[in-house]
Amino acid sequence: MKLLFASMLSLTLGLLLVGCSSSGDGSNDLVDPSFFITEAGNSGNGGGDSTLLNGRHAVDLGSLELTQSTPIDYDLRTPQVLYGASDSATGVLCVSTLTILSNNAGPNANYTALIDNNLALDDSIFTISIKDIPGPTNIVGIEYSYGFEINDVSYTTLMHAHYLPAQDVTFNNPALTSLECGSPTNGYGLNESQIRAILDSVVYLRGN
């Protein structure tokens, strides 16, 4: 959402870009500069059933460098930023989130709330397109593209979001997972293939 991109922009502009690997149990660490596996937390993960999703995913970030990464806290019921990454040459930014939900409203209500809450942030935000996409369960996800402005600069982003039912995850609560990538609108046409390659590389992980 726009607030996350504003935060990422501040971090990117305020710091020299350096790769940062995540700490963890070894199997969840940075595998190589282009293949990152989001970390899991240590509490409330509901066991090790290898058929169930654990909220993490693997992703090929290509030329993007990690600017932050955070373990999942399975006790939180507010949106968690799992990682952020950026490419200083192209201006592409990516942010991944996981929200473990306290409601059982289902996928459509949560997708609608995600979009409505984003649009309500300010008048510069507008929807470009929304369409259904396949996901890691039998529930369809959404591809949501939107534009906005920060400091008089226009940005275009593309998000893949998926609702994960309680019966399909190790932590026994429904969740909403998302990865969105974007860039300044004046370069988005050149960056779109890079952005789609990142989004399409996601593999959702199962078990502990």
Q: Quick one: which of 175, 206, 205 has its CA closest to 59?
A: 205
Rounded CA separation 71/81 (Å): 9
- Please tell me the predicted confidence (pLDDT) of residue 95: 95
In a structure prediction context, what are the per-residue pLDDT tens digits for the chain, which is 208 residues long?
A: 666 666 666 555 444 333 333 333 333 333 233 344 444 333 344 455 788 999 999 999 999 999 999 899 999 999 999 999 999 999 999 999 999 999 889 999 999 999 999 999 889 999 999 999 999 999 999 999 999 998 899 999 999 999 999 999 999 999 999 999 999 999 999 999 999 999 999 999 998 7
* 3-class secondary structure, 75: coil
- Please tell me the predicted confidence (pLDDT) of residue 8: 63
- Please tell me the predicted confidence (pLDDT) of residue 30: 31
Contacts of 105 (CB under 8 A, 6+ apart): 113
Rounded CA separation 175/163 (Å): 6
DSSP tag of 172: S
Rounded CA separation 69/119 (Å): 26
Q: Give the residue numbers spanning the domain of 192.
A: 2-206
The whole model's pTM is what? 0.83
- Please tell me the predicted confidence (pLDDT) of residue 208: 73
The CATH number linked to 57 is 3.40.1000.10
Size of the chain in residues = 208
Rounded CA separation 75/71 (Å): 12
Task: Please give the tally of structural domains in the chain.
Answer: 1
Residue 125 has a CB neighbour count (10 Å cut-off) of 17
Residue 193 has a CB neighbour count (10 Å cut-off) of 9
Buried b or exposed e, range 40-60, using 16+ CB within 10 angstroms = bbeeebeeeeeebbbbbbebe
First-last CA distance in the chain: 28
